[in-house]
Amino acid sequence: MNTQPAGHAKRLAPDLWVIDTLFQGERGIIASYLLTGPHGLALVDVGSAASLNELLAGIQVTGHDPREIQHIVLTHVHLDHAGATGALLAHTPNARVYVHHIGAPHLINPDKLLASATRIYGDQMERLWGAILPVPAERVTPIDDGAELAVGERVLRALYTPGHAIHHVALHDSANNVIFSGDVGGVRLEDISYVRPPTPPPDLNLEDWSTSIERLRALRPKTLYLPHFGAVEGNLDAHFDALRTRLYAWGELMLRGIRAGKSDSELAADLAAASDPDVASAASALEGGDQANAVKRYELATNYLMSAQGYVRYYRKTRPDLLNG
């Protein structure tokens, strides 16, 4: 019996594919982007190690073999974006890994990263993230703000964009006026207009994130390529406005709850009560829109408990002056 997973990939441009990693068997949650061209095949983000086989199958759908991959470019090292990196290297023997210099040590020795994630996900770690393997140091190229990477047929410039993570970079392709935004560009699932900020611990910083949003906005991109999920085009000012507004609105809601002594689970319930109706409303605009499924899929992309815990750490670590206001 053939148990090989079916790959899912969609061509976005002659040299660009979005690969659906089918996170937890669900379509349109976590993307990897494949770039082709004379500078060598490249992946931008690679998803969870639990979805490695789906990623490999997606590469095959594009007509390429994983052994052709020469560049793995990571926006940050969170497990839904970089978790598959170590395991993927066995299938991509010629690939180098590019990541911000602050994130690089956590790829080479993922112990601290795994300990942090385990505090959030507990006994769900294996199911969600699979086996996280270290990346050999000799295959890692640390990058900083302004680094230019020739991959596929494009040149991507790294934009240091903290706020979601202290080691986060977005990738600007000025020739095509597009940005691979990583999580600093927010979560907006395909065909649904709702923008949700992914706000996990330990690095959430509202002020830094706001600055990063404005940095992306100032480039006036025509397209954002989101890891959660796919291309966003059209009125990107509205997208950036919605992301920034919700980032701070959630912050105010969480601050009130923290001051009231609420637990993390109670804070998460407050986020759900405030936000799920908006997700359902956005989904209802689709023909045959499944509102309950849209709520579930956004929660799979970035869950409320993790989001609440990010705000709790932010206020206690960065803005303790606000806790007794």
Residue 1, pLDDT score? 39
Q: Which two tokens stand for residue 166?
A: 């202290």
Residue 286, pLDDT score? 63
Please give the domain boundaries of the chain with CATH numbers for all domains: 8-235 (3.60.15.10)
Beta bridge mates, 100 = 143
Residue 59, pLDDT score? 97
Which pTM was predicted?
0.94
Distance CA 58, CA 286 (A): 27
Q: Which two tokens stand for residue 141?
A: 């190229």
Asked if 34 and 62 touch (Cβ cutoff 8 Å), the reply is: yes
Residue 283, pLDDT score? 85
Q: Which residue has the tokens 């406005």?
A: 241
DSSP 133: P
> E strands, 90-186, where?
96-100, 140-143, 148-151, 154-160, 169-173, 178-180
Q: pLDDT digit string (tens) for 268-310?
A: 999 999 999 999 988 886 655 578 889 999 999 999 999 999 9
> E strands, the chain, where?
8-13, 16-20, 31-35, 41-44, 69-73, 96-100, 140-143, 148-151, 154-160, 169-173, 178-180, 223-226, 230-233
Any alpha helices (H) in 260-317, and if so which ranges?
A: 264-284, 291-301, 304-317
- CA 103, 43, 231, 227 dihedral sign is negative
Among 52, 45, 50, 38, CA closest to 17: 45
Asked if 130 and 48 touch (Cβ cutoff 8 Å), the reply is: yes
Q: Which residue has the tokens 């349109």?
A: 28
Residue 160, pLDDT score? 98
> E strands, 164-320, where?
169-173, 178-180, 223-226, 230-233
Residue 2, pLDDT score? 43
- In the chain (325 residues long), the average pLDDT of successive 10-residue segments reads 67 97 95 98 97 96 97 97 97 97 96 85 87 96 98 98 97 98 97 94 96 98 97 94 98 97 97 95 71 90 95 96 86
Asked if 291 and 297 touch (Cβ cutoff 8 Å), the reply is: no
Q: pLDDT digit string (tens) for 178-199?
A: 999 999 999 999 889 899 999 9
Asked if 139 and 95 touch (Cβ cutoff 8 Å), the reply is: yes
By DSSP bridging, strand 31-35 and strand 16-20 are antiparallel
Asked if 13 and 36 touch (Cβ cutoff 8 Å), the reply is: no
Q: Which residue has the tokens 């996170």?
A: 23
Which residues are CB-contacts of 164 (< 8 A; sequence separation ≥ 6)? 76, 182, 183, 184, 197, 198, 199, 200, 203, 204, 209, 212
Q: Which two tokens stand for residue 288?
A: 């045959």
CB-facing half-sphere around the CA of 49: CA atoms within 13 A:
22
Among 130, 91, 133, CA closest to 111: 133
Residue 120, pLDDT score? 80
Distance CA 293, CA 280 (A): 9
**Backbone dihedral region of 11: left (phi > 0), alpha (psi from -120 to 50 degrees) or beta?**
beta
